[in-house]
A and B are shown apart, each in its own frame.
Chain A
């Protein structure tokens, strides 16, 4: 089929989807929505419509990035304004159907806001504070189109980039990508156009294109959301790349832990093939390209490109020495282009709208937008996309809404387990590849985790080292043994067995690991330790010298205590909740914790009624009242 025909049909379908005669209900059912109960809401909607004998279509869409408001339901009625409802539960469904579908009451008290501007004073969603600071390129379709309907993608400008690219010489496509200034979104920030050029110039055949969707950072879910909400953008980007470098076969290496992303990607590939946008003789231009899915079996190191190639070949994903770079010798020894999900998804708009448009967004050395998963102690967790160069402060306080529960900000961890923890004084650092590296962190693939005063930085460093040490592939001894030693020292410090010399030893070991490891995993593994030592040395010293954990986290350095003057004598919540049977009523019915039995699980503090709040943590243990 020629492209114009595909576009005509897609527009027709989109038109009837948008302007049909019956109301439409959109439910966000990406993984995060499902975890919050979106599928139960879909079921409830279906039942209620049937019970009320009402006509409406229900469409499952992707994620618009407002995780803390999931499940989200949007109701679109013909000749009526569109309203989006947040935190919808099956219990709220009958009200919505009754008022909103059957009658003309928009139930604005349950709504997040309206998608169309309305005079009745409801919140206009695009004007919510966070959207004002966002710049959506990759997320433009997420949550708006049906991710299992290619027509929706095409009708909204999809495949315009591929059509244009196929009319250009491959070298011209590469030139355009180079001009755009796009840098690899997997974390290292290598210029994408240069990578493509290297692969194009490699003389060997066949060539391969690989999409790296092995998103292993705990707390990062940008790639997952893109693949679940707008998989076609990634497929189109890969197809353009394949045309540019001269490849016929592509692979998407994706985590098996993302079953929904795999399912939606499979469907997208199938539909693209049916329409002749993938397969043989794409759009009649004599260019062949097909994509296979390879499911990863769970290894953090697989995100490294040479390791990932080994995984696709059916081997242990152990990195190897570069050069030769994969662009020259990659999969099965052939020239291979590897880019991240977000990098590929950035390509179609660049080709479609021009390199100049893309390079007008962002900073001098980092062009375009950056996508982040905001998690941790924030009011608004979720997914955001901002222009490169936006400050961390804006991300955390303006978009993230600041710290939950009126607590104080302590640190932000950016770049995954091998990123760094930055303190409040660094919040005005612009988020781009180079500024972050200077500050001791890395861009990584885009996880941002915010910590408050209740998080201990030594414990945080220990957590990341525990992860890195388990995920080290074992090839380089500095990484394999060095990270284990780092972890041992951190365990000693958090257990109150640390010595002050340990702090220097940590720093020394970090340098050795950084210098003696082959791949990015080992080379960046010390970052959490180095940055916490640099910015939060006082906390380390308190652990070592005073045996005190000021955040009251490290178990060996804290004790639970029941304040006698706050304990309500008749209440026995803590006694019943204690799994160790360590709490009993003492003199006058005031509850007392037997410290020799206490396992420090914290249950007593959680069940103590808030009006008493009698259970407190103290540190050091020696400060426990007699």
Chain B
């Protein structure tokens, strides 16, 4: 709790108390903490002088915000149009099966999180999966296990063709 307060003070103090910074402050909090804890949203409401419901309403409206901690390795399966046409859904299902976690969920040990994302703009390489910022091109269900094993082993550089 003390830690959270210090982090928040760090983020909020340099900012103006203006409603228009609500979204950018939420973005910064999530950037630092990985998600938006309830206490942080309440503190932000206090700081901006708006009701907590306003902050919650804005935060839940936008796709970017998370309300629970993510996995250490967040697996983002692209569900843009090009990826969908190239079989992205099958890749997402394979990830879900392999990690034994539902889409949007996190494994019990918080090692992996799984989410679907809208287009990441690599349509020429469809279907793609993004993990820790690395793009895995031309994915398919049989490649899923190999990718995950390599991440567990710490082979971050590994990409497969």
- Is the pair A603, B142 in contact by a Cβ cutoff of 8 Å? yes
Assess whether A506 is interfacial by the CB under 8 Å rule: no
Which of B22, B62, B85 interacts with A298 by CB under 8 Å?
A: B62
Give every chain A residue within 8 A of B123 (Cβ-Cβ): 67, 219, 221, 373, 375-376, 381
Assess whether A377 is interfacial by the CB under 8 Å rule: yes
What 1/0 mask marks residues of chain A from 215 to 255 whose CB sits below 8 Å from any chain B CB?
Answer: 01111110010000000000000000000000000000000
- Is the pair B141, A606 in contact by a Cβ cutoff of 8 Å? yes
Known: A70-B124, A311-B23, A579-B97. A299 touches B63 (CB 8 A): yes
- Is the pair A382, B124 in contact by a Cβ cutoff of 8 Å? yes
Among residues of B, the one whose C-beta sits closest to the C-beta of A30 is B121
- Is the pair B119, A217 in contact by a Cβ cutoff of 8 Å? yes
A510 to B157, CA, bound (A): 48
Assess whether A257 is interfacial by the CB under 8 Å rule: yes
Assess whether A105 is interfacial by the CB under 8 Å rule: no
- Is the pair B141, A32 in contact by a Cβ cutoff of 8 Å? no
- Is the pair B85, A31 in contact by a Cβ cutoff of 8 Å? no
Interface centre among A218, A294, A381 (most CB of B within 10 A): A218
- Is the pair B118, A216 in contact by a Cβ cutoff of 8 Å? yes
Interface centre among B57, B118, B120, B126 (most CB of A within 10 A): B118
Known: A219-B123, A297-B65, A603-B142. A579 touches B94 (CB 8 A): yes
Give every chain A residue within 8 A of B120 (Cβ-Cβ): 35, 257
- Is the pair B121, A297 in contact by a Cβ cutoff of 8 Å? no
Q: Which of B2-10, B75-83, B101-109 contacts A (4 or more CB under 8 A)?
A: B75-83
- Is the pair B24, A295 in contact by a Cβ cutoff of 8 Å? yes
Known: A218-B81, A579-B97. A314 touches B19 (CB 8 A): yes
- Is the pair A218, B58 in contact by a Cβ cutoff of 8 Å? no
Assess whether A256 is interfacial by the CB under 8 Å rule: yes
Assess whether B52 is interfacial by the CB under 8 Å rule: no
Known: A313-B20, A577-B142, A602-B87. A376 touches B121 (CB 8 A): no
Which of B18, B119, B142 interacts with A220 by CB under 8 Å?
A: B119
Among residues of A, the one whose C-beta sits closest to the C-beta of B63 is A298
Q: What band does the interface of chain B fall in when counting residues whose beta carbon is under 8 Å from A? A: 35 or more
- Is the pair B19, A376 in contact by a Cβ cutoff of 8 Å? no
Give every chain A residue within 8 A of B125 (Cβ-Cβ): 35-36
Give every chain B residue within 8 A of A277 (Cβ-Cβ): none
Assess whether B115 is interfacial by the CB under 8 Å rule: no
CB neighbors of A among B32-89 (8 A) = 57-58, 61-65, 79-82, 84-85, 87
- Is the pair A32, B58 in contact by a Cβ cutoff of 8 Å? no
Among residues of B, the one whose C-beta sits closest to the C-beta of A450 is B85
Among residues of B, the one whose C-beta sits closest to the C-beta of A474 is B61
Give every chain B residue within 8 A of A607 (Cβ-Cβ): 142
Among residues of A, the one whose C-beta sits closest to the C-beta of B123 is A375
Assess whether B159 is interfacial by the CB under 8 Å rule: yes
**A478–chain B nearest beta-carbon distance, Å:** 20
Assess whether A401 is interfacial by the CB under 8 Å rule: no
- Is the pair B85, A35 in contact by a Cβ cutoff of 8 Å? no
Assess whether B26 is interfacial by the CB under 8 Å rule: yes
What 1/0 mask marks residues of chain A from 363 to 392 whose CB sits below 8 Å from any chain B CB?
Answer: 000000000010111000110000000000
Give every chain A residue within 8 A of B122 (Cβ-Cβ): 31-32, 35-36
Give every chain B residue within 8 A of A317 (Cβ-Cβ): 61-62
Among residues of B, the one whose C-beta sits closest to the C-beta of A298 is B63
Give every chain A residue within 8 A of B142 (Cβ-Cβ): 577, 603, 606-607
Among residues of B, the one whose C-beta sits closest to the C-beta of A332 is B20
A305 to B122, CA, bound (A): 26
Which of B21, B23, B82, B117 interacts with A219 by CB under 8 Å?
A: B82
- Is the pair A295, B27 in contact by a Cβ cutoff of 8 Å? yes
- Is the pair A297, B141 in contact by a Cβ cutoff of 8 Å? no
- Is the pair A314, B22 in contact by a Cβ cutoff of 8 Å? yes
Give every chain A residue within 8 A of B140 (Cβ-Cβ): 602-603, 606
**B7–chain A nearest beta-carbon distance, Å:** 20
**B44–chain A nearest beta-carbon distance, Å:** 11
Give every chain A residue within 8 A of B61 (Cβ-Cβ): 299, 316-317, 473
Assess whether B151 is interfacial by the CB under 8 Å rule: no
Give every chain A residue within 8 A of B81 (Cβ-Cβ): 218-219, 375-376, 413, 417, 447, 449, 463-464
Give every chain B residue within 8 A of A382 (Cβ-Cβ): 124
Which of A294, A447, A603 interacts with B141 by CB under 8 Å?
A: A603
Give every chain B residue within 8 A of A189 (Cβ-Cβ): none
- Is the pair A376, B141 in contact by a Cβ cutoff of 8 Å? no
- Is the pair B124, A32 in contact by a Cβ cutoff of 8 Å? yes
Which of B26, B80, B90 interacts with A601 by CB under 8 Å?
A: B90
Among residues of A, the one whose C-beta sits closest to the C-beta of B120 is A257
CB neighbors of B among A287-303 (8 A) = 294-300
Pairs across A and B, CB under 8 Å, 12 listed: A67-B123, A67-B124, A216-B118, A217-B119, A219-B81, A294-B23, A295-B23, A296-B62, A313-B19, A317-B62, A377-B85, A606-B140
Question: Given A221-B119, A256-B27, A298-B62, list of 8 further CB < 8 A pairs?
Answer: A35-B135, A224-B121, A294-B24, A299-B62, A373-B123, A381-B124, A464-B81, A579-B98
Residues on B lying within 8 angstroms of A by beta carbon are 18-24, 26-27, 57-58, 61-65, 79-82, 84-85, 87, 90, 93-94, 97-98, 117-126, 128, 135, 137, 140-142, 159
Task: In the A-B complex, list the 4 residue pairs whose CB atoms are closest, starting with the nearest.
Answer: A218-B80, A297-B62, A375-B123, A298-B63
